[in-house]
Amino acid sequence: MTPNERLTAEHASEIQSGERFEFGKNWGLFLENLTNEGIHRAEESLREMLGGDSLDGKTFLDIGSGSGLFSLAARRLGAKVHSLDYDPQSVACTLELRRRYSDPSEWTVEQASVLDDRHMASLGEFDVVYSWGVLHHTGSMWQAIHNAALTVKPGGLFFIAIYNDQGRKSRQWLAVKKAYNGLPPGLRFLVLWPAFVQLWWKRLFKDALVGKPLRSFREYKALRGMSLWHDVVDWVGGYPFEVAKPEEIFDFCRSRGFQLVRMTTQAGNLGCNEFVFVMQA
């Protein structure tokens, strides 16, 4: 059995047992409606957080590439990109975006696990290591962060986004995610729709009150070029699921030689805290 066949078999087993969400399947649906505007928004979000207009001459590692959108954004900003994902359907999505938009010689795509110490060590070091909303879905978040951090070269940037720890609320959402993945696919709407209402009814109600129905849906895409609905499905289904307080991520990375450059937090809300660190030379 080849390494890819082994990973694919492990992934299928986890899906079958309800221990993992089919992230790649969700991203495949997202790609069906990806627009040039969405790609542009992804580029802008990278520029904003990384603090520059270009990645020319830089190497960029995308850990958990998902749809491939941010690998594509990095490539369009001039980086030489290496994308990896554990989910075979996510790998297929990333390959599809590479086929549509880029030169394969400047963009490597592979199936791999960030928890594979030996493989991660074999990748070498990169100018930018990016993993947005991924490492908390591995089943071993702190090991995943550690392995990812080892691939950042001195002076390089480490851009990660990790779910905010809300204590009891986070534990409740963990139960929701387990319930969603434990149901047959045809019955998952029984968890998905109530969760969607719980997450969005206040904002949609406010939109209607001010005479701007569904404004929140339209504005959401402007944030990172993502789809609100597919992100909701990803949130509700996203399992394994771990969380961390901002100070825990800060302390963990500082102890490994990183200095914080930029951070955005959810201030007690759901979602991901974003961190950009630089590896001190």
- Is the pLDDT at 126 greater than 80, yes or no? yes
Cα 49 from Cα 30, distance rounded (Å): 23
By C-alpha distance, which of 169, 168, 201 is closest to 270? Answer: 169
The confidence score (pLDDT) of residue 205 equals 73
Q: What is the CATH number of domain 3-165+241-279?
A: 3.40.50.150
Give the pLDDT confidence of 44-99 residue by residue, as tens digits. Answer: 999 999 998 899 999 999 999 999 999 999 999 999 999 999 999 999 999 999 99
Give the pLDDT confidence of 10-56 residue by residue, as tens digits. Answer: 999 999 999 999 999 999 998 988 989 989 999 999 999 999 889 99
| CA dihedral sign of residues 91, 192, 139, 159 | positive
Q: Are strands 152-163 and 258-264 parallel, antiparallel or unpaired?
A: unpaired
Which sequence spans correspond to the domains of the chain?
3-165+241-279, 168-237
Give the pLDDT confidence of 212-257 residue by residue, as tens digits. Answer: 776 776 666 656 666 778 888 888 999 999 999 999 999 999 999 9
DSSP state of 102: -
Give the position of tokens 């696919």.
Answer: 185
- Is the pLDDT at 208 greater than 90, yes or no? no
DSSP state of 164: B
Cα 216 from Cα 238, distance rounded (Å): 22
Cis peptide before 104 (omega within 30 of 0): no
Give the position of tokens 């207009």.
Answer: 53
Count Cα atoms within 13 angstroms, Cβ side, for 162: 27
Helix, strand, coil tally for the chain in percent (to 5):
55, 20, 30
Give the pLDDT confidence of 128-184 residue by residue, as tens digits. Answer: 999 999 999 999 999 999 999 999 999 999 999 999 999 999 999 999 999 999 999
| Model confidence, pTM | 0.91
